[in-house]
């Protein structure tokens, strides 16, 4: 499952801040939901994970989510800003992340642990 | 019961115990939104063995209202 | 009540239909199953990413809510994850052919927001535990 360039595009990034463009046309929208395309919350989590993996320069997966708040829905074609703070730990990364829209409204807030131990 | 309630709520919602006064408004004092309100209801239900019905929630505005509700409805 | 006809209880459809079987026990308890197929969208190098388990749990909660709505004579409606807390994932994620079994308990509910606690296992090994809020 790779979502970069199919679900979203990174328009620019610097210092853990990613300018994201949500794409339309990803097959997931056929089922979520028929006639009303809304980005599944878990795929927003996946976007954060892919970008955090880029920052850590290795493939990571979630090992724990302390707190993830979905403040407002994300839809195709939206322009968003993702900010990730990451602290390397023994086998991965501790991250805090926020997704806001260009008006500064909060869409997602996350504290989680990512691991580089994949099976 | 009140001491335990104050301690648990202050800890869970990260506020000082001394702002939890009987006449204080629950939502404002603990900065509750619709999601964290459910956390509060779940916590009180589990710790004090009550069921807080959605229909009764509008009557529970202050901490005093909450203490009364728990006293009356504890199983 | 057990059903394989999950589409009567939740609005999600392929390619993101993540519950095969759903069992409503009581107001506060239900079970669900998902057998991982090759075309599952959450597969990566042959095993499921944890986000797939979270979606499976969210849809289990949606099925529970959907069933209660239908019992009350209401239509199934769209639901969304409000938050996820206290979530830990196991060391090994499930692979194609494995069946994920989930037990979900309703912790509390206020209006249209339901807070659930869920645990998913496969072959007796815990895959994930979490608390989640659904808004519908």
Identify the three-state secondary structure at position B66: helix
Q: What is the CATH number of domain B2-73?
A: 1.10.1200.10
Whether chain A has a CB inside 8 Å of the CB on C88: the answer is yes
Whether chain C has a CB inside 8 Å of the CB on A4: the answer is no
| Interatomic CA distance for residues C38 and A91, integer angstroms | 29
Return the pLDDT at C128. 98
Per-residue pLDDT of chain C (136 residues; tens, 9 = 90+): 888 899 999 999 999 999 999 999 988 999 999 999 999 999 998 999 999 999 999 999 999 999 999 999 999 999 999 999 999 999 999 999 999 999 999 999 999 999 999 999 999 999 999 999 999 9
Mean pLDDT within B42-54 = 94
- Banded model confidence at residue B10, pLDDT cuts 50, 70, 90: very high
Which of C27, C108, C114, C131 has the most B C-beta neighbours within 10 Å, making it the best mutation to test the interface with B? C108
Tokens representing residue A34 in the block: 């028929």
Q: Which fold has domain A8-115?
A: Thiol Ester Dehydrase; Chain A (3.10.129)
Question: Is residue A119 pLDDT above 90, yes or no?
Answer: no
Tokens representing residue A105 in the block: 């409204």
| Interatomic CA distance for residues B19 and B13, integer angstroms | 12
Which of B32, B37, B39, B50 has the most C C-beta neighbours within 10 Å, making it the best mutation to test the interface with C? B39
Return the pLDDT at C3. 85
The tens digit of pLDDT for each residue in A12-23 reads 999 999 999 999
Tokens representing residue A102 in the block: 């260009």
**Domain segments of chain A as ranges:** 8-115
| Cβ-contact A62, C50 below 8 angstroms | yes
| Interatomic CA distance for residues C62 and C68, integer angstroms | 10
Strand locations in chain C, DSSP E? Answer: 2-3, 21-26, 29-35, 43-44, 47-48, 80-89, 99-110, 113-122, 125-135
| Cβ-contact B41, C108 below 8 angstroms | yes
Of B35, B39, B54, the CB nearest to C109: B54
Domains of chain C: 2-135 (3.10.129.10)
| Cβ-contact C98, C52 below 8 angstroms | no
Q: Is the Cβ pair C110, B38 closer than 8 Å?
A: yes
Non-local CB neighbours of A37 within 8 Å, separated by 6+ positions: A24, A29, A75, A76
Q: Is the Cβ pair B42, C108 closer than 8 Å?
A: yes
**Domain segments of chain B as ranges:** 2-73
Distance from CA of B21 to the nearest CA of C (A): 24
Q: Is the Cβ pair B54, C111 closer than 8 Å?
A: yes
CA angle C112, A81, A76 (to 5 degrees): 60
- Chains near B (3 or more Cβ pairs under 8 Å): C
| Interatomic CA distance for residues C4 and B65, integer angstroms | 45
Residues B48/B49/B55/B60 CA torsion (nearest 10 deg): -10
Nearest residue of chain A to residue C92 (CA atoms) = A119
Question: Is residue B51 pLDDT above 90, yes or no?
Answer: yes
Residues B70/B20/C106/C41 CA torsion (nearest 10 deg): 170
The tens digit of pLDDT for each residue in A48-101 reads 999 999 999 999 999 999 999 999 999 999 999 999 999 999 899 999 999 999
| Interatomic CA distance for residues B32 and B34, integer angstroms | 7
Q: What DSSP character marks residue C6?
A: G
Return the pLDDT at C135. 96
Question: Is residue B75 pLDDT above 80, yes or no?
Answer: no
Q: Is the Cβ pair C108, B54 closer than 8 Å?
A: no
| Cβ-contact B23, B64 below 8 angstroms | yes
In this prediction the ipTM stands at 0.96
Of C78, C83, C89, the CB nearest to A69: C83
Which of C84, C93, C115 has the most A C-beta neighbours within 10 Å, making it the best mutation to test the interface with A? C84
**Residue in A19, A18, A39 with CA at minimum distance from that of residue A86:** A18
Return the pLDDT at B40. 96
First to last CA, chain B: 14
Whether chain A has a CB inside 8 Å of the CB on C22: the answer is no
Return the pLDDT at B1. 87
Q: What DSSP character marks residue A31?
A: T
| Cβ-contact C130, C120 below 8 angstroms | no
Identify the three-state secondary structure at position C107: strand
């Amino acid at each position: 499952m790779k979502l970069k360039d199919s679900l979203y595009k990174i328009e620019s990034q610097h210092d853990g801040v990613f300018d994201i463009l949500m794409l339309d046309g990803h097959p997931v929208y056929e089922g979520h939901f028929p006639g009303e395309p809304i980005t599944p919350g878990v795929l927003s989590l996946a976007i954060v994970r892919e970008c955090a993996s880029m920052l850590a320069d290795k493939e990571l997966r979630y090992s724990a989510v302390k707190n993830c708040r979905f403040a407002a829905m994300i839809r195709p074609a939206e322009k968003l800003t993702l900010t990730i703070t990451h602290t390397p730990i023994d086998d991965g990364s501790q991250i805090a992340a926020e997704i806001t829209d260009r008006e500064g409204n909060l869409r997602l807030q996350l504290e989680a642990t990512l691991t580089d131990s994949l099976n | 019961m009140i001491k335990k309630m104050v301690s648990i709520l202050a800890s869970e919602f990260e506020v000082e115990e001394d702002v939890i006064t009987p006449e204080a408004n629950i939502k404002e004092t603990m900065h509750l939104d619709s999601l964290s309100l459910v956390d509060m209801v779940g916590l009180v239900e589990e710790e004090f063995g009550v069921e807080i019905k959605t229909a009764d929630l509008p009557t529970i505005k202050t901490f005093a209202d909450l203490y009364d509700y728990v006293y009356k409805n504890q199983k | 009540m057990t059903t394989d006809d999950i589409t009567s209880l939740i609005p999600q459809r392929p390619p993101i239909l993540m519950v095969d079987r759903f069992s409503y026990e009581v107001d506060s308890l239900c079970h669900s199953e998902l057998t991982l197929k090759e075309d599952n969208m959450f597969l990566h190098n042959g095993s499921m990413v944890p986000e797939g388990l979270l979606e499976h749990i969210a849809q289990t909660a949606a099925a529970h809510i959907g069933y209660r709505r239908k019992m009350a004579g209401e239509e199934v409606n769209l639901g969304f994850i409000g938050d996820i807390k206290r979530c830990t994932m196991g060391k090994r994620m499930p692979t194609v052919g494995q069946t994920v079994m989930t037990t979900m308990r309703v912790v509390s509910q206020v209006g249209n927001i339901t807070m659930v606690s869920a645990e998913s296992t496969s072959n007796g090994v815990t895959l994930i535990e979490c608390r989640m809020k659904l808004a519908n």
